[in-house]
């Protein structure tokens, strides 16, 4: 046995059903990835109180649009690897299915002084990459907002603000 699946049944794609990913699943995944990305910045993590280290994430997910057949090659396959009857002709393992499009807003609290830009860039990069691989989501819009900075000076003196 080679471990490869046999050919797919001749059922057109639109009749096979759909996989949906809920907003809350995308939000939990993004929050976990953002927390992991920020934990790599040790100079900042120590300044943020333990109860405020989990980023707050809001998402909006749209289902991926059904792709229409546009062009065909010389064997009658379209550019997405389907034959003239809508059946997939290339193996599923060779491509990543896009299940939807997500708009993500992540609110974080960071330690100060630290490299705020690098931390926000790391969150954007890792959340986009992991949502694509783990949830099959393309991220069309990702906003990282810094809600609060926790100063090392304020924690030592017990003050809320540094003057």
CATH at 108: 3.30.70.1350
What is the number of structural domains in the chain?
A: 1
In a domain, 134, yes or no: yes
In a domain, 145, yes or no: yes
Task: Provide the residue range defining the domain that includes 112.
Answer: 18-63+96-157
Measured CA distances, 154 to 44, 71, 162, 163 (Å) = 14, 62, 6, 9
Question: In terms of C-beta density within 10 A (0-12 exposed, 13-18 middle, 19 or more buried), how is residue 17 classed?
Answer: exposed
In a domain, 36, yes or no: yes
Above pLDDT 90, what percent of the chain?
31
Query: What is the pLDDT at residue 99?
Result: 81
| Range with the poorest average pLDDT among 4-8, 107-111, 118-122 | 4-8
Mean pLDDT to the nearest integer, 105-127:
93
In a domain, 104, yes or no: yes
Tokens of 95: 């491509």
Mean pLDDT to the nearest integer, 86-105:
68
Tokens of 13: 């794609």
In a domain, 43, yes or no: yes
Q: Which residue has the tokens 């630290």?
A: 114
In a domain, 23, yes or no: yes
In a domain, 80, yes or no: no
In a domain, 107, yes or no: yes
Does 89 score more than 70 pLDDT?
no
Question: In terms of C-beta density within 10 A (0-12 exposed, 13-18 middle, 19 or more buried), how is residue 78 classed?
Answer: middle
């Amino acid at each position: 046995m080679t471990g490869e699946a046999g050919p797919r049944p001749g059922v057109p794609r639109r009749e096979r059903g759909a996989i949906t990913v809920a907003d809350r699943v995308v939000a939990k995944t993004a929050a976990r990835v953002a927390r992991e990305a920020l934990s790599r910045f040790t100079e900042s993590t120590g300044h943020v109180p333990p109860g405020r280290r989990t980023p707050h994430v809001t998402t909006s997910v749209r289902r991926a649009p059904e792709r229409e057949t546009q062009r065909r090659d010389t064997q009658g396959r379209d550019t997405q690897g389907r034959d003239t009857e809508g059946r997939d002709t290339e193996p599923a393992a060779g491509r990543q299915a896009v299940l939807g499009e997500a708009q993500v807003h992540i609110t974080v609290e960071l330690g100060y002084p630290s490299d705020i830009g690098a931390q926000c860039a790391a969150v954007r990069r890792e959340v986009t990459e992991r949502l694509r691989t783990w949830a099959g989501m393309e991220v069309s819009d990702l906003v990282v907002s810094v809600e609060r900075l926790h100063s090392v000076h304020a924690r030592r003196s017990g003050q809320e603000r540094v003057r």
